[in-house]
Amino acid sequence: MKFLCIFLVLILANFVNSDYKDLIHQMVKNAAKSENKTECDKALNKLLNNILHPKLDDLWGYKMIDSSSSIIPDGILLGNFGSMGNFEECLSIVSKDHTIKGQYCLKLVLPIPNLDKEFKELADGLIGYPVALCVPRQCSAEEINEKYKLFPDSHFYCHTEENRYPPMTKGVIATICFLCTMGLMMVLSTAYDVYCRQNGKAPASPALIAFSVYTNTLRLMDTKNKSDLSCISGIKFFSMIWIVLGHVFTGYLVSPFMNLIDILDYEKTTRAMFQHGTTFAVDTFLCLAGLLVVYNFLQAMQSGKKFNIFLFYLHRYLRLTPALAALILVTVYLLDYMGSGPRWALMRELFQKQCEKYWWTSLLYIQNYANEQNNICLSHTWYLSVDTQLYFFSPILLILLWKYPTAGITLLISATFGSMVAVAYLTYEYKLPALYNSILIWANLKDFTAKYYFKTHTRMSAYLIGAIAGYILHVLKGKKYHISRVCTNI
């Protein structure tokens, strides 16, 4: 065993001469020039001393080297962006005298000359070539960024064993209690529901089985209760599968991968268009939302029901907000405890920090306009803001379509055309790409999302077209009409 340790030390010593040792040398030289040495400077001196004078029973310095990434990993010409050192090994490092513990620091760099500054800011911590260093925990992320001069445009995010799972705060405890209460309500409601069914009794109140897993599952899976527009359920299903596929692929693009060249080659093929096209998959939901709002409203008015705008708004808000609020609550308070790893700090920055700052704009459904620099709490919830804003403005169209159909249709067509003109202008002015779900065009992603993708006035054309379709379906309902073979073929 002793000879094996010596052999491994010799291998590491030879390997380190090319990068990590030079890096530590540079750090220590910089520290030696400073008059007031920090705890980080002292720890780095210890690290260098342990590397140059190793002891077989205290090889913590070499473990730091071993758990750091190599500057040039294997498969680099194939686009290996997946070498991130060894996270767990780094955090487990403790020196024999217990004065030094490991800290894992990661930065993602884009070593591309003349890269757009805005894209660098957007990509920092999200995509790029990983550089992982295992350093003493006495060094803060700011100190490592200052001492590590290579790729200065990117910043390190650091982990220690102590901050892997931070201490529970009052907010964390309150969130756990809330979720446990909801879980208990589901258990009790389900138990009462099953008891009533087995004994042939009707529930004393519908509220008592509102949280029943059994009843709600039956309702979710029910295919017998068909309406006039049951067919759109199939459209929703296939659109949802398409959207999930697109998000999964986007997730891969911001994850470590070892074959960037293969990805770039794939994205240029015809097969990849199915994945690229997911950019517009959400438009099907906007179209169906507009169709249902108009169709259901006109049908209700024709049946003699009165329109209560307060209940119209309240029903919508209460339908969406509790689930969204619970998701934001979990993101803000429990995300820290739901995982760990080299890039977990980056995920916290991407999701948790945004929700801590912008939770209120999410619950008011205005985050696509109110938030600074296009920062969205839970980025996929941009759709809720767009759809809800259109819903809140829809009574203007609904009343016009009911009382003054010509004026309503004219407004719908004009607004649709205006939205299309706005999209054309923004695309030309800011040179926006047609798609975003591709690594090939991410250089302009910030403008694409900020100027077009998240904005209601640029996405509303699909909603308005759906509204026109909903009006046509209402007018044609119950009437016999013949579609010519030419129209059918078209």
**Residue 167 in this model has a pLDDT that exceeds 60:** yes
The pLDDT value given to residue 197? 93
- The mean pLDDT value of the chain amounts to 84
Task: Note the maximum CA span of the chain.
Answer: 92
Query: Do 281 and 274 contact (CB within 8 A), yes or no?
Result: no
- Cα angle 442-446-448, degrees, rounded to a multiple of 5: 80
Q: Which of 33-37, 67-71, 102-106, 166-170 has the lowest mean pLDDT?
A: 33-37
| pLDDT band with cut points at 50, 70 and 90 for residue 401 | very high
Give dist(CA 463, CA 284) in Å, integer. 9
The pLDDT value given to residue 26? 62
Q: How many CA atoms lie within 13 A of 460 on its CB side?
A: 23
Q: What percent of the chain has pLDDT over 70?
A: 85
**Residue 12 in this model has a pLDDT that exceeds 50:** no
106 phi and psi angles, rounded to 5 deg: -130, 135
**Residue 109 in this model has a pLDDT that exceeds 60:** yes
Dump pLDDT digits (tens) for 316-334: 999 999 999 999 999 999 9
Give dist(CA 377, CA 274) in Å, integer. 28
Give dist(CA 312, CA 332) in Å, integer. 30
Average pLDDT over residues 95-123: 74
**Residue 360 in this model has a pLDDT that exceeds 90:** yes
Between residues 350 and 213, the one the model is more confident about: 213
The pLDDT value given to residue 348? 79
**Residue 405 in this model has a pLDDT that exceeds 60:** yes
Residue 72 burial (CB < 10 Å; 0-12/13-18/19+)?
exposed
Per the structure block, which two tokens stand in for 468?
Answer: 């026109």
Give dist(CA 432, CA 425) in Å, integer. 10
Give dist(CA 380, CA 289) in Å, integer. 17
Residue 54: left if φ>0, alpha if ψ -120 to 50, beta else—which one? beta
- Give the pTM: 0.84
Dump pLDDT digits (tens) for 430-485: 888 777 666 655 667 778 888 898 999 999 999 999 999 999 999 988 777 777 77
Dump pLDDT digits (tens) for 264-279: 788 888 888 888 888 7
The pLDDT value given to residue 194? 95
The pLDDT value given to residue 9? 42
Between residues 55 and 22, the one the model is more confident about: 55
Instruction: List the beta bridge partners of residue 315.
Output: none
Query: Do 62 and 12 contact (CB within 8 A), yes or no?
Result: yes
The pLDDT value given to residue 364? 95
Residue 37: left if φ>0, alpha if ψ -120 to 50, beta else—which one? beta
Average pLDDT over residues 344-367: 88
Domain ranges of the chain: 2-160, 165-225, 230-489
Which residue carries 């209120």 as its tokens? 360
The pLDDT value given to residue 233? 85
Average pLDDT over residues 166-188: 94
Query: Do 44 and 25 contact (CB within 8 A), yes or no?
Result: no
